[in-house]
C-alpha cells in the first residue's frame, strides 16, 4: 500500500531541489512568477512588455535601453545629422523657408555662410542659421576663388584654400555650392564644385528668407 503523505513529501522535495538547482545555474523566477529568466542572457530592458528585471526601477531600465538604442545607430539620436544648421525635424518639414523640404543627410542644402565673410582682416564670421542678404554679400566676396588655385587670392583677398575660422573646412568650400537639380525645389542647393562664381551667389539668393532657429 502506498503512503499518500510520503508521495507528497517526495514530490515536494523534488520540486524544492529543482528550484535550488535553477538558482544555482543563475536562473531566477520572473517577478510575476509566470516565466523564468536566465540572468546571464537577460536584456537590459524588455522594451516591448516594459518588464524591468528584478531589483531595478522601470524608468532607469528604460533610460538605459534608450541609450543603447542611440549607440546602435552611431548618431541615431543626433537631432542634426548633417550639421548644416537645420534640425532633422526642420528639414523634414513642409515649409522651405523654415528649412523644410530638404534632406537631413545632405549637408549642402542649407546655404548659410560665415558672415562677415572670412577675409585676412576679418576671421570671426559665423553661420547664424538665417539666410539673408548678408549671406549673399558674403558669398559675393568669394567669387573668383577656386580649389584649383587654393592659395591664390581674389580681389578681396579671399582664398579658396584658407581656413581662417579654423574649423577644418577650406573656407572656399563654405561659400561654394551648386544649383539644385530639382526644378520644383530650387532651394535645395548641391555640393561644392571647386569654383565660387556668380552662379553660387544666385544659389544663395534662392534661399534668402530661410530661418532654422
Ligand atoms: Ca540638418
Ligand atoms: Ca540638410
Ligand atoms: Ca547667415
Ligand atoms: Ca573654414
**Relative to the alpha carbon of 109, which ligand is closest?**
2
Q: Are residues 17 and 115 in the same domain?
A: no
63 and 37 both lie in a single domain: yes
**Please, are residues 58 and 75 in contact by the beta-carbon 8 Å criterion?**
no
Looking at the CA of 132, name the nearest ligand.
3
pLDDT digits (tens, 9 = 90+) for 133-168: 999 999 999 999 999 999 999 999 999 999 999 999
Judge if 123 and 212 occupy the same domain. Answer: yes
Domain count, the chain: 2
Three-state DSSP class for residue 90: helix
> What is the end-to-end Cα distance of the chain in Å, rounded?
88
Residues 169 and 203 in one domain: yes
75 against 171, higher pLDDT: 171
Distance from residue 212's CA to the centre of ligand 3 (Å): 10
Indicate if 47 and 101 belong to the same structural domain: no
Same domain for 18 and 107, yes or no, is no
User: In which domain, by residue range, is 166 found?
Assistant: 81-213
Both 42 and 111 in one domain: the answer is no
153 C-alpha to center of ligand 4: Å?
Answer: 15
pTM beyond 0.85: no
Residues 68 and 130 in one domain: no
pLDDT-based confidence at residue 54 (cuts at 50, 70, 90): low
Q: Which residues contact 85 (CB under 8 A, 6 or more apart)?
A: 99, 110, 112, 127, 129, 212
Q: How far is the CA of 211 from the centre of ligand 3 (A)?
A: 9
Amino acid at each position: 500500500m502506498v503512503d499518500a503523505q510520503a508521495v507528497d513529501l517526495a514530490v515536494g522535495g523534488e520540486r524544492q531541489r529543482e528550484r535550488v538547482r535553477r538558482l544555482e545555474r543563475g536562473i531566477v523566477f520572473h517577478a510575476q512568477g509566470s516565466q523564468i529568466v536566465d540572468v546571464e542572457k537577460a536584456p537590459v530592458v524588455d522594451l516591448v512588455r516594459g518588464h524591468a528585471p528584478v531589483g531595478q526601477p522601470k524608468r532607469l531600465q528604460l533610460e538605459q535601453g534608450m541609450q543603447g538604442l542611440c549607440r546602435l545607430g552611431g548618431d541615431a539620436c543626433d537631432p542634426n545629422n548633417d550639421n548644416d544648421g537645420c534640425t532633422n525635424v526642420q528639414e523634414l518639414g513642409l515649409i522651405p523657408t523654415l528649412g523644410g523640404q530638404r534632406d537631413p543627410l545632405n549637408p549642402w542644402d542649407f546655404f548659410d555662410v560665415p558672415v562677415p565673410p572670412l577675409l585676412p582682416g576679418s576671421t570671426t564670421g559665423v553661420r547664424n542659421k538665417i539666410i539673408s542678404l548678408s549671406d549673399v554679400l558674403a558669398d559675393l566676396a568669394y567669387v573668383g576663388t577656386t580649389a584649383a588655385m587654393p592659395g591664390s587670392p581674389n580681389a578681396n583677398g579671399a582664398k579658396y584654400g584658407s581656413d581662417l575660422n579654423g574649423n577644418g573646412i577650406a573656407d572656399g568650400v563654405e561659400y561654394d555650392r551648386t544649383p539644385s537639380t530639382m526644378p520644383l525645389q530650387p532651394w535645395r542647393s548641391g555640393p561644392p564644385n571647386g569654383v565660387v562664381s556668380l552662379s553660387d551667389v544666385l544659389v544663395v539668393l534662392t534661399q534668402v528668407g530661410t530661418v532654422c532657429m
